[in-house]
Amino acid sequence: MKFRYWIFSILLLISIGLSLHLFQTRPLETNVMELIPEGKNNPEVSLARKLVSSHQSKINYVVLSSPNSSITPKAVSTFASTLKENPSIASVYSPSDSVFLKDIGEELVQLRFSWMLPKWLNSHFPNWKEHPPDSDTLANKVVEELNTFLESPESFMWDELIPRDPFLLIPRQALDARSFIAPKHPQNQVFWIEQSPSPLEAKGQEPVFTAFNMALQNAKKHDPDLQLSFTGVGKFAHASEQNIRSEVTRLNLLAIIFVLFILIAWIRDIRILFKLSFVLLLSLFSAFSLTFIIFPNLHILSLVMGSLLIGVAVDYGLHRFLHFDTDNKFILWRPLLISACSSAGGFALLMLSPLPVVNQLGCFVAIGLITALIGASLLPPNSQNNGPPQKPRIHPFNFIPIPVALSITIALCLGTYFLSWQDNIKDLDYPVPELQNEHESVLSHFNQNLTSNPVLVIGESLVDTRKHLETILQELKNKSQVWSPAQFIPQFNEASKAHDLFKERPDFVPALKRELATSEYSVEAFDPFFNDYNEYSDATMNRDLFEQQIRSFAQSLPSFLQSMISTDNPIWMMAFVPENFKSASHEFIYPLAEVENLNRSFSQYRKDSGKIAVIAGITIVLLLPVVFQGRKGMISAFLLSINVLATLGTLSFVFHDLGLFHLIGILLGFCLCLDYLLFAVESTSNHRSLPVSVLVSMVTTAGVFGLLITSAIPAVQALGSSVVIMLLICLLLLITSFQNILTKKKPIFPGHG
Amino acid sequence: MKAFNKIYLLGILTILTPLSPYGADNPLLFGLEEKWKPILEQFNQINSLESSFREKRYRPFKRIPTTLNGTLRIHPQAGISFLYTDPSFFLLHFHQGKLFRKKEDSDLEALDYPEVTTTMNWLSQIFAWNTDWLKDHVTASGEFKPDSNEWHLSLKPIVEAPASIDKIILYGSQVKLKEIHIFTAPRKRIEIKLRESTTNPNFSDNDIESFFPAFDQ
């Protein structure tokens, strides 16, 4: 006997030690994207994962404002310079600061002819493809436009570039881009601030917030009324993690207190309570450590849902320690093993689900159940000297007649008529409405072109993708409504035609020199232009080179724009389009909001998980008559089936639309109710009373799942409410006279009858 | 804000004022000779200005300058505005450190051109003769032509200005400030020649609304 205690103690110590070690050395995953799979065959998931890991996720949108006046330039520059010195900050860009346009410009200068001449031709000679202008006309237009440009204030910014770019290709493009990026409220100062560490890591959260605060304090020396507001992935991730951590603590603590309270109230045996507590500890720690080893990216949400293990794992100890006959022999080995194996198997089946969060939950609970069973088996019941085991204190109530119970159950089953499914990945998020409000408020200060209605245009290659983007541009009559960094890029066929046009005009250079001289320009000052132009017109334009140019351009974009062109699979170009824009080429266009929601993909995962659940459920129901020899098995299968249908019906009445986590809840409830029904049927058919352990277990389990309903996370709520409803219906079935069928109308509990 | 045509009177005051008894360390001067002081003190009495102008922009790649005509207005609260009327028509308004542009039939737009904004800021500090700002940013030296009533005042940045301003030279004759030359790079400068000027004009509300559109009354 002592040998068993030793084994139990060693297992418990190992699991606790391993858990503490893992908890200290590995961070728990908090990124919601880690809850969904790689999505190799699912473009939406693939897109979303790439977006989350892109530079875009590191961008913080920051607004500086001063309630009574415009912000002093000194305060703005101090704020920016303080941040630039901070190691947590990678870059600071402001739409009011043209540095980033120049960054883009440097790369574009190299590509200006092949990329921008098509647009220049389109705007000055709309029919250039059909009626190509001659060299004199082209040269005259260049100089005429240059003269006008030199009268504008912006010309001062480009003086140094003009000798390389008399076409004004770069200034025009940059100024076009600027008009889309310019902030909405010029009296406030807005920034795009890229942080160095990932916003999903701890060092990418509080250290970044501290950097912002330090910069604000320094800037306040020049403008004491300065106010800062910002939004970014890190802010949401931090708030979400804090909330989920406190929720994990709250739920687990309440679950333990509740279970202990029920046990103390019913069991009233301190030795059994101790044993149950140790079994629970072994179950929780071993489940945590082994799951963490199997899933290195263990998500914190899996632990929130995993807290339900406490309510289930206690069952085996209850059965083991409360049910033995006068010979001190355990009398329920068969139902205990069948129920433990079926429950653990049911949860283990969840590991086949395509969703990581479901995998982790299934693994966590399955391991917890098996170790709870092992732990309960290792610890013996109370010794013979301690008298008979605790008598059941609650008798089953078989006073509800079958017709009444049948009517209630059938009525509940009717709800399945209204059954509909709708999934929302936001159900997995911890809602933080105050941050959401601030997020919207901050974004309202930025140019709407860069904050609303983003779409991803997808293609097989960058050239193809640009072609698809053109479809959107063509569909929108007012092209100023759409903006994308990819607008810098022409379509390959246009670039090629423009190249041909200039290549076929060797007299363009002398014509332009003549025009420049006529307008009193120093022609020799434009030598850098003529050198570059000759190189361009002599070169050969091909698709591979063009594709390579796009890659190079995309990599040169400032950080906050880099995710707007993805050059590796999946290839995309991001564009900002008007609200309610519907494109005829919808197969190439993914609204970003839809990608972020991933609801369609989520529904697919629910369907896949549903198939697994249905197959597993039907298999178990069909096996019951075999394992339980005919009548008992048939009755169990019938009760289980009607339990599932009535639960689905009730959930439909209550929630209208069910989702993935309702489905998982039903699967969990199925495993739990199978346990209870097996014990009830076994006991009843042997003319024994319904084991008190079943009732205690039902109450503790319902209580623990009931606690999940108080969670702020909709997915956890859905899971908890599904299990609680299923347990309540199971209880209804157990306390009615359905069991009388088993005993052919004989009194079912003669010992108490 | 003090006024542009504080400098307007500089010439005549210089002629009328003999060497003054004021101390050399007077903050108004920051390096200028004592004889400038009475002139600069007069600046405080002038608040606003309206003057037509011709602006010439010299660039290294052009043999002749680009020439623009218009009207300059300065208002103590509303800032500086340049109304260009020929060959293009548009208005530039510099107010509280920010630059705005209004074109015909279009909305007021904020411009984010650091070079232009910085130059405008320098001009506004000079016109206001903001000695606190000037002594931190420029060194001044002036010269009077002995045989004429003409003078020039050269302001050179102490530290490198963001707009790469090399120096600003004010040219005047007797009672008038005639020209402002802004040198920003070798062979690159802006010359603003003031023509018909009115000192301390009464800007009506309509004028302020039209010529200082970013000013919120």
Contact residues for B11 (Cβ-Cβ < 8 A; gap 6+): B149, B150, B151, B172, B173, B174, B175, B176, B177
Answer for the pair A664, A358: CB distance below 8 angstroms, yes or no. Answer: yes
- Residues of chain B with C-beta less than 8 angstroms from the C-beta of A163: 60-61
DSSP secondary structure of A699-749: HHHHHHHHHHHT-SSHHHHHHHHHHHHHHHHHHHHHTBGGGGGTTTTS-S-
Instruction: Give one word for A591, left, alpha or beta, with left for phi > 0 and alpha for psi -120 to 50.
Output: beta
- Say whether pLDDT at A311 is over 80: no
| A89: amino acid identity, one letter | I
- Say whether pLDDT at A739 is over 60: no
Band of pLDDT at residue A515, cut at 50, 70 and 90 = very high
Q: What are phi and psi of A275, to 5 degrees?
A: -60, -45
Model confidence pLDDT, tens digit, residues A152-202: 988 888 888 899 999 999 888 777 766 666 665 666 788 889 898 888 777
Q: Are strands A572-576 and B167-173 parallel, antiparallel or unpaired?
A: unpaired
Answer for the pair A308, A708: CB distance below 8 angstroms, yes or no. Answer: yes
Omega before B162 cis (within 30°)? no
Cα(B98)–Cα(B160) distance, integer angstroms: 20
Structure tokens that stand for A590 in this block: 């993914």
Model confidence pLDDT, tens digit, residues A15-44: 999 988 988 888 777 666 666 666 556 666
| Residue found under tokens 């334009």 | A541
The larger pLDDT score, comparing residue A147 to residue B158, is at: A147
Q: Which of A243-252, A482-491, A535-544, A578-587 has the lowest mean pLDDT?
A: A578-587
Cα B52 to Cα A587, A669, B6: the distances in Å are 60, 87, 17
Cα(A303)–Cα(A285) distance, integer angstroms: 12
A501's enclosing H/E stretch is helix A492-503
Structure tokens that stand for A353 in this block: 């689900």
Picking from B68, B92, B98, the nearest residue to A186 by CB comes out as B98
pLDDT at residue A747, rounded to an integer: 40
Picking from A73, A150, A182, the nearest residue to B57 by CB comes out as A150
CA A739 remoteness from chain centre: 46
Cα(B66)–Cα(B55) distance, integer angstroms: 8
CA A709 remoteness from chain centre: 21
pLDDT at residue A389, rounded to an integer: 45
The alpha carbons of chain B give a radius of gyration, in whole angstroms, of 17
pLDDT at residue A308, rounded to an integer: 66
pLDDT at residue B213, rounded to an integer: 92
The larger pLDDT score, comparing residue A260 to residue A86, is at: A86
pLDDT at residue A160, rounded to an integer: 86
A246's enclosing H/E stretch is helix A233-266
Cα B208 to Cα A194, A476, B76: the distances in Å are 42, 40, 11
A230's enclosing H/E stretch is strand A227-231
Cα(A262)–Cα(A264) distance, integer angstroms: 5
- Say whether pLDDT at A12 is over 70: yes
Cα(A209)–Cα(A100) distance, integer angstroms: 24
Q: pLDDT digit of tens for each residue in chain B (217 aa)?
A: 344 344 433 333 333 333 333 334 565 666 777 777 666 666 666 678 899 999 999 999 999 999 999 999 999 889 999 999 989 899 999 998 888 999 888 888 888 777 788 888 888 888 777 878 888 888 888 887 777 778 888 888 887 655 578 899 988 776 567 899 999 877 789 999 988 888 788 899 999 999 999 987 5
- Residues of chain B with C-beta less than 8 angstroms from the C-beta of A70: 96-98
Cα(A57)–Cα(A563) distance, integer angstroms: 9
- Long-range contact pairs involving A376-380 (C-beta distance under 8 Å, separation at least 24): A376/A279, A376/A316, A376/A317, A376/A319, A376/A320, A376/A321, A377/A320, A378/A4, A378/A5, A378/A7, A378/A8, A378/A11, A379/A4, A379/A5, A379/A8, A379/A275, A379/A278, A379/A279, A379/A317, A379/A320, A379/A321, A380/A1, A380/A4
pLDDT at residue A83, rounded to an integer: 92
Cα A29 to Cα A204, A432, A718: the distances in Å are 14, 19, 22
Does A154 contact B92 at a Cβ distance shorter than 8 Å?
A: no
Q: What are phi and psi of B33, to 5 degrees?
A: -70, 160
Omega before A380 cis (within 30°)? no
- Say whether pLDDT at A642 is over 80: yes
Picking from B64, B88, B115, the nearest residue to A156 by CB comes out as B115
pLDDT at residue A79, rounded to an integer: 92
Smallest Cα distance from A163 to chain B, Å: 7
CA A53-A56-A58 angle, 5° bins: 80
Does A522 contact B84 at a Cβ distance shorter than 8 Å?
A: no
- Say whether pLDDT at A312 is over 80: no
Answer for the pair A471, A584: CB distance below 8 angstroms, yes or no. Answer: yes
Cα(A282)–Cα(A288) distance, integer angstroms: 10
Whether the model clears a pTM of 0.95, i.e. scores above it, the answer is no
- Say whether pLDDT at A330 is over 80: no
Structure tokens that stand for A239 in this block: 């708030």
pLDDT at residue B17, rounded to an integer: 33
Answer for the pair A691, A453: CB distance below 8 angstroms, yes or no. Answer: no
**Three-state SS string across chain B, please?**
CCCHHHCCCHHHHHHHCCCCCCCCCCCCCCCCCHHHHHHHHHHHHCCCEEEEEEEEEECCCECCCEEEEEEEEEECCCEEEEEEEECCCEEEEEECCEEEEEECCCCCEEECCHHHHHHHHHHHHHHCCCHHHHHHHEEEEEEECCCCCEEEEEEEECCCCCCCCCEEEEEEECCEEEEEEEEEECCEEEEEEEEEEEECCCCCHHHHHHHCCCCCC
- Say whether pLDDT at A652 is over 80: yes
- Residues of chain B with C-beta less than 8 angstroms from the C-beta of A150: 57, 59, 62, 66
Model confidence pLDDT, tens digit, residues A79-106: 989 999 999 998 888 766 655 566 666 6
pLDDT at residue A742, rounded to an integer: 52
Give, rounded to a whole angstrom, the gap between the first and last alpha carbons of chain A.
38
Answer for the pair A231, A61: CB distance below 8 angstroms, yes or no. Answer: yes
pLDDT at residue B19, rounded to an integer: 32
DSSP secondary structure of A616-681: HHHHHHHHHHHHTTTHHHHHHHHHHHHHHHHHHHHHHHHHSEE-HHHHHHHHHHHHHHHHHHHHHH
Q: How many CA atoms lie within 13 A of A637 on its CB side?
A: 18
- Say whether pLDDT at A320 is over 80: no
- Residues of chain A with C-beta less than 8 angstroms from the C-beta of B66: 147, 150-151
Smallest Cα distance from A170 to chain B, Å: 15
Answer for the pair A236, A292: CB distance below 8 angstroms, yes or no. Answer: no
pLDDT at residue A92, rounded to an integer: 87
- Say whether pLDDT at A661 is over 50: yes
Which letter does DSSP use for residue A411 in this model? H
Which letter does DSSP use for residue A521 in this model? B
Over residues A478-490, mean pLDDT: 73
Residue-averaged pLDDT of chain A = 80
Structure tokens that stand for B88 in this block: 């293009």
Which of A138-142, A550-554, B13-17 has the largest mean confidence? A138-142
ipTM over 0.85 threshold: no
Does B112 contact A150 at a Cβ distance shorter than 8 Å?
A: no
Structure tokens that stand for A119 in this block: 């647009």
Over residues A256-273, mean pLDDT: 78
Q: Which of A229-243, A259-273, A537-551 has the lowest mean pLDDT?
A: A259-273
Answer for the pair B42, B65: CB distance below 8 angstroms, yes or no. Answer: no
Band of pLDDT at residue A745, cut at 50, 70 and 90 = very low
Contact residues for B47 (Cβ-Cβ < 8 A; gap 6+): B1, B2, B3, B76, B200
**Residue of A598, A602, A613 lying closest to A362 (CA atoms):** A613
Over residues A232-249, mean pLDDT: 83
Over residues A327-342, mean pLDDT: 69
Model confidence pLDDT, tens digit, residues A386-417: 444 444 444 444 556 667 777 888 888 888 88
On whether any CB of chain A is under 8 Å from the CB of B141, the answer is no
CA A114 remoteness from chain centre: 41
Return the percentage of chain A with pLDDT > 70, whole number. Answer: 79
| A386: amino acid identity, one letter | N
**Residue of A442, A598, A375, A624 lying closest to A59 (CA atoms):** A442
Contact residues for A195 (Cβ-Cβ < 8 A; gap 6+): A58, A60, A88, A89, A90, A204, A208, A232, A234
The larger pLDDT score, comparing residue A353 to residue B42, is at: A353
| Residue found under tokens 């890029």 | A489
Which letter does DSSP use for residue A221 in this model? T
Structure tokens that stand for A422 in this block: 């709708």
Over residues A590-608, mean pLDDT: 69
Smallest Cα distance from A350 to chain B, Å: 57
Chains A, B: CB pairs < 8 Å: 69
Does A154 contact B57 at a Cβ distance shorter than 8 Å?
A: no
- Residues of chain A with C-beta less than 8 angstroms from the C-beta of B90: 152
